Structure 1
Amino acid sequence: MRVDPKPKDDPLPSTPLRLVALEIEEHVAAGGWDQQPRLYALVPTAELVQREPVLAESLGVQLDAHPDGFTSIEQDGLAPDRPLEELLGEITWPDGVAGCAAVIERVMLPPEAEEHLPSDADELMTYVAEHPDRREVRLVAAVTRDGARHSAVRAREPDDATLLEGPDLVPGLLDHLSRTFE
């Protein structure tokens, strides 16, 4: 899957991190909603091709178009019964991994709803589930070892919801990912 360079009216730069984050979002979106969290290692494509020559042919077009780009490698074996943020606290990456990305679905409430949040966990779950202004969203967060960040958020409804993106839309998740490189 390849994401083309940005349209002329796009205010965000087409960095390798942004492009791989958008590619991951597009890939996950093709599978629909109600998916488990996903975690990806981000490896420089040029280095991957050097280390794994068999991949050179399949990644050749991507390497030609984006020689400084990343290849995302999905990590298997995430414990579905534990929150992703908790799992990230136990992860460290080998030196060959230049970045990582995560995709997770969440329910978001408008800022004004925060002042009415119950402190009891069960009451909180009910409050969020029944709130009339709740929105189900898919969050994509990507970071590099050197501190670059990109994030994207897509609402479940309407079906043609605009993808919002920027360097810090989901700061908590980005921070969790960044700590995997400390």
Structure 2
Amino acid sequence: MMATLVELTANIVASHAASNGLSSDELILEINKVYSTLKKLETDGTVVETGSAPTVPVISLKKAFQPDQVTCMICGKSGFKTLTRHLKQAHELKPGQYRKQFNIPGTQSLTAKNYSEARRKAANENNLAANLEKARAARKAPKAAKMKAVKTAPVEENVAPVKSAKSAKPAKVTKAPKSRAAKA
């Protein structure tokens, strides 16, 4: 027995609504979208997508970014601590493209607030900022010493010219005579 478009639409939307919390307005939009897609499939046999992602968000900005989880505004999938990986794998989008598509301000983090706070707290407890500062200072120390040595090294003026690259003998270097100021 062949199912009607209404029955197919009801089954698809019910499955989607079971895994994602949808408001009544979102549910109506989802029903209309699924029904029109199935109708187009029945008549044409193919559906032409207008873009990689819809321009109308599935969920509002306020509902998408909760303290304990983040919801994708493209597909409505929820339960993420951070959206970056999901956007790349599921929608082939970079975070900047996602922000631009849905007018998400740059101040809005694409991670759950509780997750960010927990990471910040762990970093502070493990003293990561101080360790990073020490590592940077340790990395700069040899460079600074080398630069100081280059600046204070005497300049040699009387250097014999190199004859050719084929010559096996190194060029002879003569030192500049010391000045009287250096002796005193």
Q: TM-score range by the shorter chain?
A: under 0.3
Between structures 1 and 2, the one with greater strand share: 1
TM-score w.r.t. length of structure 1: 0.19
* Structure number with larger C-alpha Rg: 2
TM-score w.r.t. length of structure 2: 0.19
